[in-house]
Structure 1
């Protein structure tokens, strides 16, 4: 195999020695269909048939037939599995460009600048009319989330925004930056947290600030004066037992709502789809929970649960979502959210087109002879993978498919807590003049987040969130940290996970190349349960792990499919042989010899996990068929005798169909 960028990501090390063949995948979007298998072993497209039909199900107008496919067109970035770290942050942002529209959002930005520059009295801005009460609530929450020093008022159905008079009063006593920071501190409402104003040696002035704070926020905060190195300042602390804001009965009821649905998306990231839906409903991205992230360039079906959105509200948005490449079905009320990893695996229906032998340059064979040989090659390859499985590499989606900086490089910078480098790596552009690349290049060249934000396409949710944060907090280390914190936790943790995934891939390749396909002393394996069956899991942070002894190696007690390798983290143990030493050397080479696999400033914790060295597809079946329109090598001309391979199989969670195909075909995809 040629050493392309992909084979660096996914080493060319195989279990079987069959010849394989050439072919193309994802020629058409319907050639790659992924359907989640839930924790009960049910295909999520067919799961509705096992439920008791109720009024909620019967009224769902967006129900899809089990064998239907979506048909959309939407461009996005590449996505992949993120791992089993489920801690979520509450620091996600609403996208005002989506909620208000870009023109109104820009007017609001200009309104804020006018307030800060000219300080006009009683200046107001109309955000427009919103007939739906849920939409009005979304606007109120989104504006307050972005600009805590503003207040919104409704004169039905119009919403107007003006400066909060309390902010105006405080900004006369302290600097505007301090006033804004203080209001963000208040808006966060983290009990027991504190905020300190700049040193102030004027006692009368400090008294005026104390009086304002106690009069306006006395139920929430307590203030005191303290001295440090001869300078005196005011400290404000949120009360541990402050009187909580009284919520209405409707608000309390809304907090307890969980709505499940099946999401069908095409050519769209899971996280991008969530960002759009969150903005449309005025909730946080972390209010959406899911079991796993699916491929981008594919038709995918997966379960999701959203908090604080009723089934009826969800149904009202289905037509809007369909325009964005998302189709919702099986909408129903449930009692709890989903957890990352709460699935058994995925079912794949794939088509590989334009099949050719690896020595396709041989022009002396007839088309009939070539097809006969292909049938033999496919039969042998499928049989081998059915019985022997494949090396359980993390697939190329884990690292990104472009030619620029890849996700694992960003993750390494984050693990080193080099926030500025991580941001600049993230914004490294691909070659080309598409709007996203131009916006990234502009940021790297000018360091101007505001101008780059104006250039960045609305569909690029991650980039826009980070640019907004840097526009507000700057592009230094603190501003870059705020940029990463502006992303949902599931997005942030993706990058360190990508780095750990690359190390795991390299560890497997080194293990097989230096120690062979037998189980060796010091290897880690699954332990046997009381019923003499091996525990089954695709990836877990706390399996029953056993270290192979010399006697067990000599007796051949364990098989290669039982061997585990650790994903680096702060809770795993490493093999007690040469591979354990290799891990330490590999991490040290990247400057992570003493890494704790925690980035506290970004609320990231990587405990690590154990991943089976091999994966075996279940229910693998195939069918060869002639295609009436396959493209000949080099494109252009049609080959009426072209063969296509249809594959159907199940994989455990966090296993990659593209890696399984590499083992079958022995070729880059």
Structure 2
């Protein structure tokens, strides 16, 4: 797996076997955000419309304008909270007091203070309120040019969280990134809309725009002024016409009188362009959430089997991460175009193929890769022994020492074997490298390289490489081999040449195409991490890339030192590690690679990954074949003992990598 790669800790470790059976390696995905698993949208939308009236604040709000009055001048003052903090984003409950499910449904991000630190957060609050104050002044040319810097943010995910958090707390601000530096400034579109409708409506509109909840709508307050409605329609179409569309509907106002109101919705592929006389004609996709338990199956293989049974595409499934094959794994999934009833119908058939489907319920939005809190692992390590060079030591002491060491110091955050296809003759990173070099025919032939086994799938692959007969190979493959069949259909139509193979790769979902490229990037990251530790050890050195803590200090690798995943938008360390990256990419003929494969619509910006990670909630016990052995007992050396270990890991961390550090052996 990682035979020559560096370790972090110095304890001796021990030997043992893992995954003797799937039940020895159980993976349970930790809680998925409630946003994606709610039964319906009705309760969320109802709560949104029933928000209580605003409470008084130290800074007066703009009085509500009647729709028959002309649009107001200037901008409302900024309401400051009792502590002199940020501007109130929405009437009703404050940011900290709001219902947590409602906040989750609206896509609220992590609190700004936890992302920025208190000093920067307070400065941002002051900037926001000062900016709103200047908007209320006539002829203030400075209002549109004011900016506030949040500083450089190397980590792409942190930048995304900050973008979202700023927009949610201050809808009147926008954030932009310039060379990894995050800049905050006023949103001129917000200011313009504030001239047309109330601040509450403007706030709510921009929060609706930012949340992008599929199939959701937003309605302005009743407006009896036709000319004014026309101005609002034109504003939205001019500014957001590619994203939104508007229509006026008859509604009942607060006096129970018929009136007109503008309703806005997103232009989505899932909506029909056809409108009925009474309003929008909906064509909504059905989403069904469920928990998938699989045994001895790859995630993509399981999805292929499900898709074949349901007669849909693998791309109709969404999930948050790839799980081990040689394990029992449990993970939430969402499938599009399939009702809960239809999913329940195939349950018995799937059990015969190593899968169980349960916790089936309606959903309304897909999941995204990486959108999980982490994984919990329950693992049994059997046949415990000493390393050959350490046979005289006490095994119990070696195990205890290893657990304490890794629990205290963590482990090197390598990508695990399932990222590359453990045990396969051709690993996924080799295909990814061929795609990056735009060697399309080579990538196809690597994909169809068979293993040394005599079964229908590998026999079909062997036949294809010998004959290039795509049509004949299609007949030989089982139905659940969806990726192979997608490629072969295109190859049969376009031929096994550069153009035909390019079209074949385009025939599979984008997420699968880029999976192979990411595997190559992961391999390079693993090699870079090992080189970094061999060259400099565990101390921070000049030239390292460091995500600083709030106080600007970092004293060890565990304090946010990162290495880049190769791509076109990353910075490399300015020490020997940076030079290593350039030499390593040159070795693979990628020294001039722009990490954009235009023929396959692949764009690889790159990102940053922590070199070290910690393990959480670690616990373990020893068990003999006859009875449980307590940790106080001695003389384990002559007994057949297994180790039961449980722990939690953050997303994109690998249990096999953590075990490698604990045991000091490769699997």
Structure-1-length-normalised TM-score = 0.60
Residue 526 of structure 1 corresponds to 547
Greater relative contact order (Cα < 8 A, sep 6+): 1
Alignment partner of 1:255: what SS? Answer: coil
8 A contact 1:255–1:307 mirrored in 2:
no
Residue 513 of structure 2 corresponds to 492
Residue 568 of structure 1 corresponds to 566
Q: Which of 415, 420, 431 in structure 1 is aligned with 2:436?
A: 415
Aligned equivalents of 1:360, 1:517: Cα separation in 2: 25
Return closer, same or farther for 1:22/1:252 CA change in 2, 3 Å cut-off: farther
**Structure 1 residues 125-157: Cα deviation after superposition (integer angstroms, max 9, x where no partner):** xxxxxxxxxxxxxxxxxxxxxxxxxxxxxxxxx
Report the alpha carbon displacement of residue 286 of structure 1 after superposing the two structures with TM: 2.0
Aligned equivalents of 2:427, 2:457: Cα separation in 1: 16
Residue 641 of structure 2 corresponds to 643
Aligned equivalents of 2:626, 2:607: Cα separation in 1: 47
8 A contact 1:38–1:342 mirrored in 2:
no
Residue 439 of structure 1 corresponds to 460
**Structure 1 residues 140-193: Cα deviation after superposition (integer angstroms, max 9, x where no partner):** xxxxxxxxxxxxxxxxxxxxxxxxxxxxxxxxxxxxxxxxxxxxxxxxxxx9xx
Residue 355 of structure 2 corresponds to 326
8 A contact 1:21–1:667 mirrored in 2:
yes
Report the alpha carbon displacement of residue 382 of structure 1 after superposing the two structures with TM: 0.5
Aligned equivalents of 2:480, 2:315: Cα separation in 1: 19
Alignment partner of 1:610: what SS? Answer: strand
Return closer, same or farther for 1:278/1:403 CA change in 2, 3 Å cut-off: closer
- Within 5 Å, which residues of 2 pair with 1:232-311? 255-311=284-340
Report the alpha carbon displacement of residue 603 of structure 1 after superposing the two structures with TM: 1.9
Structure 1 position 312 matched with structure 2 position 307: no
- Within 5 Å, which residues of 2 pair with 1:139-150? none
Aligned equivalents of 1:273, 1:611: Cα separation in 2: 28
Report the alpha carbon displacement of residue 403 of structure 1 after superposing the two structures with TM: 4.7
Unaligned runs of 5+ in 2: 44-155, 158-241, 243-270, 629-636
Return closer, same or farther for 1:247/1:642 CA change in 2, 3 Å cut-off: farther
- Within 5 Å, which residues of 2 pair with 1:155-194? none
Aligned equivalents of 2:274, 2:499: Cα separation in 1: 34
Alignment partner of 1:343: what SS? Answer: coil
Aligned equivalents of 1:322, 1:337: Cα separation in 2: 24
Report the alpha carbon displacement of residue 26 of structure 1 after superposing the two structures with TM: 0.5
Unaligned runs of 5+ in 1: 1-5, 53-82, 85-190, 192-242, 533-545, 547-551, 631-638
Residue 453 of structure 1 corresponds to 474
8 A contact 2:308–2:479 mirrored in 1:
no
**Structure 1 residues 319-374: Cα deviation after superposition (integer angstroms, max 9, x where no partner):** 22222222111111223211111111110000000000012896xx7xxxx8xx11
Aligned equivalents of 1:244, 1:354: Cα separation in 2: 61
Return closer, same or farther for 1:254/1:349 CA change in 2, 3 Å cut-off: farther
Q: Which of 33, 37, 55 in structure 1 is aligned with 2:26?
A: 33
Aligned equivalents of 2:410, 2:281: Cα separation in 1: 51
8 A contact 1:350–1:646 mirrored in 2:
yes
8 A contact 2:558–2:613 mirrored in 1:
no
Aligned equivalents of 2:431, 2:25: Cα separation in 1: 28
8 A contact 2:557–2:611 mirrored in 1:
no
8 A contact 1:618–1:650 mirrored in 2:
yes
Residue 235 of structure 1 corresponds to none
Aligned equivalents of 2:424, 2:325: Cα separation in 1: 17
Structure 1 window deviating more from structure 2 (475-484 vs 430-439): it is 430-439
8 A contact 1:627–1:640 mirrored in 2:
no
Structure 1 position 338 matched with structure 2 position 367: yes
Report the alpha carbon displacement of residue 668 of structure 1 after superposing the two structures with TM: 1.6
Residue 511 of structure 1 corresponds to 532
Q: Which of 2, 9, 33 in structure 2 is aligned with 1:16?
A: 9
Aligned equivalents of 1:429, 1:20: Cα separation in 2: 36
Aligned equivalents of 2:29, 2:479: Cα separation in 1: 29
Residue 603 of structure 1 corresponds to 601
Aligned equivalents of 1:357, 1:446: Cα separation in 2: 50
